[in-house]
């Protein structure tokens, strides 16, 4: 799949993908970072994250794939902040 004209993959994202996911050619990485899900995220126009099946997260901002974050960073953040998908209700929302 070729990227839509609105989607740009930064050189930084290509380098981080190569470091953190797989050592592929630039074009193969651009193709991997131009999936329909990532294109939809880019179409939103806001900053968001898309998680890869391998656990890394892709940061999309202003229709540009900016970087690829390591899987471990998200896992540490979830444990530290208690913001996992199925975490308990924050104390500030609990009724006593």
Asked whether residue 93 is assigned to any structural domain, the reply reads no
The answer, yes or no, to whether residue 37 has pLDDT greater than 70, is yes
| This prediction's pTM | 0.70
Asked whether residue 52 is assigned to any structural domain, the reply reads yes
pLDDT in tens, 48-64: 889 988 889 999 998 99
Distance in angstroms (rounded) separating the CA atoms of residues 29 and 23: 9
Asked whether residue 92 is assigned to any structural domain, the reply reads no
Number of residues that this document lists for the chain: 96
Total domain count, the chain: 1
pLDDT band at 72 (very low <50, low <70, confident <90, very high): confident
Averaged pLDDT, 35-42? 90
Instruction: Tell me which of 74 and 41 has the higher pLDDT.
Output: 41
Domain that holds residue 72: 8-81
Asked whether residue 96 is assigned to any structural domain, the reply reads no
The reported pLDDT for the residue numbered 6 is 79
How crowded is the C-beta side of 36, counted as CA atoms within 13 Å?
0
Taking CA atoms, 44 is separated from 30, 37, 55, 73, in Å, by: 19, 11, 22, 24
Give the strands of the sheet with 64-69, arranged side by side: 8-9, 64-69, 57-61, 48-51
């Amino acid at each position: 799949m070729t990227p839509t004209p609105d989607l740009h993959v930064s050189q930084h994202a290509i380098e981080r993908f190569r470091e953190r996911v797989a050592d592929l050619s630039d074009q193969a990485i651009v193709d991997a970072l131009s999936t329909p899900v990532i294109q939809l995220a880019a179409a939103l126009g806001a900053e968001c994250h898309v998680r890869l099946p391998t656990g890394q997260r892709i940061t999309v901002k202003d229709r540009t794939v900016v970087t690829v974050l390591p899987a471990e960073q998200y896992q540490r953040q979830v444990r530290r902040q208690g913001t996992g998908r199925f975490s308990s209700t924050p104390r500030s929302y609990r009724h006593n």
